[in-house]
Structure 1
Amino acid sequence: MNGKIFTLRNLYQSGTEKLEKAGIREAKLDAWYLLEYKTGISRAVFLADPDREVEEEKAESYQKDICTRARRIPLQHITGEQEFMGLNFKVNENVLVPRQDTEILVEEALKRIRPDMQILDMCTGSGCILESILKFGEKKQMHLKGTGCDISEEALKVARENNSRLGTDARFIKSDLFESVIGKYDMIVSNPPYIRTEEISRLDEEVKFHDPWIALDGKEDGLYFYRLIVKDSIRYLNKGGYILFEIGFDQGKDVSELLKNEGYEEIEIKKDLAGLDRVVMGRYNKE
């Protein structure tokens, strides 16, 4: 014991200052999240009693996490979790951290679910898309079932743990796209790698150095995986089945054209909260 007194206020202030010096964009927010994570203190308690003392062990652990975040390690890799669609998901360096933008994909899928649907999640990663659809389907008593596939066994471990937490009717299989997929589905959802290879080096450090490369790299033009998935998808969809993709902001027209060329109809592009193209979907009405 060194006898030093730590309070919520001085920990938060020092944490914020360190992150600001490190160039962390949301320094105040991240400093707060880490303080909440380490102490379990709510914002209301902090505002009412900012000079409350913090145990030395917790304070030092907080300071260690601040130093880690200052090295541009993603906040979610420090806490090991990320909220998505109001649900809590485990994440680590083996999966893409769920983004708020991807919630648009889930919301559009939920508008189209029907009872007893079979849903396939291609490039499932943490499983957050499939698990969210199934969990919200439960609330509507839809009795949905899902399969998530990914080429990464390490990502599948995370997805299976999230499934254990949420208890949905999902299974997760290792598959290079459709290679190990059996049967037909009523809906395919996918957030495939879609960043152009040359653009990855220009992404934030938290992304380009800490998200898995295979979850980012969409090859030369960013459309590589869309081409493969769209081409094979029609063999795995029941008549009237839907396909929904997350896309990059400038890929809506190209992915829509891919769907059209394979016979998809009712093709739509949906925007995110920033007004950028974020989701492309279509329906396959042939036998």
Structure 2
Amino acid sequence: MRDGHAALAEASARLAAAGIDTAAGDALVLMGHALGLPRHALRDALAQPMPPDAVPRFEEAIAARLERQPVSQIIGYRDFWKHRFRVTRDTLDPRPDTETLVAAALELPWRSVLDLGTGTGAILLSLLADRPGARGLGVDLSEAALEVARGNAAALGIAADFRRSDWFSAAGGHFDLIVSNPPYIAADEMPALSPEVREWEPRVALTDEGDGLSAYCAIAAGAGPHLSPGGWLAVEIGPTQAAAVSAIFAACGLQQIGLRHDLDGRDRVIMARNPG
């Protein structure tokens, strides 16, 4: 029976031959998944013959990756901010870029937060975990995504409410902070996305099937009645959308509009304040 090193090398070569740039790293993560071991424990395990029950698990995981299924969906989770979140095909995969939104929101004074299009709940739950005593509501059109978010909240022991809503339709009440990572990819940009995103993540969470700006119009138009006086709105944007989103917010009467960059220096978050 092959040892882990041989199996890992073969799998990495197969992924690389399929054009997957992250072949070696992906194969290693999937090996840990198949063996049920954390990364730091793999060194010794790879020198041993593959356990019989791990062989089909590893092969199934590699086959899924060859179909360009994201690693996070195969292993079932993504680490984001300070926590681990379950992900499925019903949710966006929380990305490091979105941590910029969490960091920006934590700079602001708030005790209540509304997350529009919550998906896995990663943004909302990360914020609530770092703001003890705050209350939060996450809304989404997808009941399947809401079930994932509720499960993540329960697993992390974080109290949050979740509700099915088309933006503000079922939100109710007032909040000191509204956050969102809305669908901002224009329809004509979709074909250029990687297969991992284009074919495996929910399309409705990626694009508005238009110019990528309609969600910001809906959010800005509805934010005022749901923001406390002096409350803040913070949204993730695409790296070319800062001027357009700022103009949309200004046209809706929001003030103190600011921009935050992600770790790669790209425009990533627009923040604005309700004059109240």
Query: Shorter-chain TM-score: which interval?
Result: over 0.9
Q: CA deviation at 1:44?
A: 4.2
Q: Structure 1 residues 213 and 263 mapped into 2: Cα distance closer, same or farther (>3 Å)?
A: same
TM-score, structure 1 as length reference: 0.93
2:100 is the alignment partner of 1:110: no
Secondary structure in 1 aligned to 2:131? helix
1:229 corresponds, among 219, 222, 244, to: 219
Structure 2 equivalent of residue 241 of structure 1: 231
Structure 2 equivalent of residue 160 of structure 1: 150
Q: CA deviation at 1:136?
A: 1.4
Structure 2 equivalent of residue 70 of structure 1: 66
Q: CA deviation at 1:42?
A: 4.3
Secondary structure in 1 aligned to 2:171? coil
Give the whole-Å Cα distance in 1 for the aligned partners of 2:37 and 2:70: 22
Q: CA deviation at 1:167?
A: 1.9
Give the whole-Å Cα distance in 2 for the aligned partners of 1:277 and 1:229: 19
2:4 corresponds, among 1, 4, 8, to: 8
2:247 is the alignment partner of 1:263: no
Q: CA deviation at 1:280?
A: 0.3
Give the whole-Å Cα distance in 2 for the aligned partners of 1:86 and 1:20: 31
1:129 corresponds, among 123, 130, 135, to: 123
Give the whole-Å Cα distance in 2 for the aligned partners of 1:47 and 1:126: 32
TM-score, structure 2 as length reference: 0.96
Structure 1 equivalent of residue 275 of structure 2: 285
Secondary structure in 2 aligned to 1:6? coil
Q: Tell me the amino acid that sits aligned with residue 108 of structure 2.
A: R
Q: CA deviation at 1:84?
A: 0.5
Q: CA deviation at 1:222?
A: 0.6
Query: How many residue pairs get matched?
Result: 276
Structure 2 equivalent of residue 33 of structure 1: 29
Give the whole-Å Cα distance in 1 for the aligned partners of 2:236 and 2:139: 16
Asked if structure 2 preserves the Cα contact closer than 8 Å seen for 1:22 and 1:71, the reply is no
RMSD: 1.3
**Identical aligned pairs, as a percentage?**
35
Asked if structure 1 preserves the Cα contact closer than 8 Å seen for 2:177 and 2:231, the reply is yes
Secondary structure in 2 aligned to 1:234? helix
Q: Tell me the amino acid that sits aligned with residue 188 of structure 1.
A: I
Asked if structure 2 preserves the Cα contact closer than 8 Å seen for 1:144 and 1:169, the reply is no
Asked if structure 1 preserves the Cα contact closer than 8 Å seen for 2:29 and 2:39, the reply is no
Give the whole-Å Cα distance in 1 for the aligned partners of 2:167 and 2:37: 43
Structure 2 equivalent of residue 23 of structure 1: 19
Structure 2: give runs of 5+ residues left out of the alignment.
Answer: none
Q: CA deviation at 1:285?
A: 2.1
The equivalences for 1:183-198 within 5 A come to 183-198=173-188
Structure 2 equivalent of residue 180 of structure 1: 170
Q: CA deviation at 1:43?
A: 4.2
Secondary structure in 2 aligned to 1:11? helix
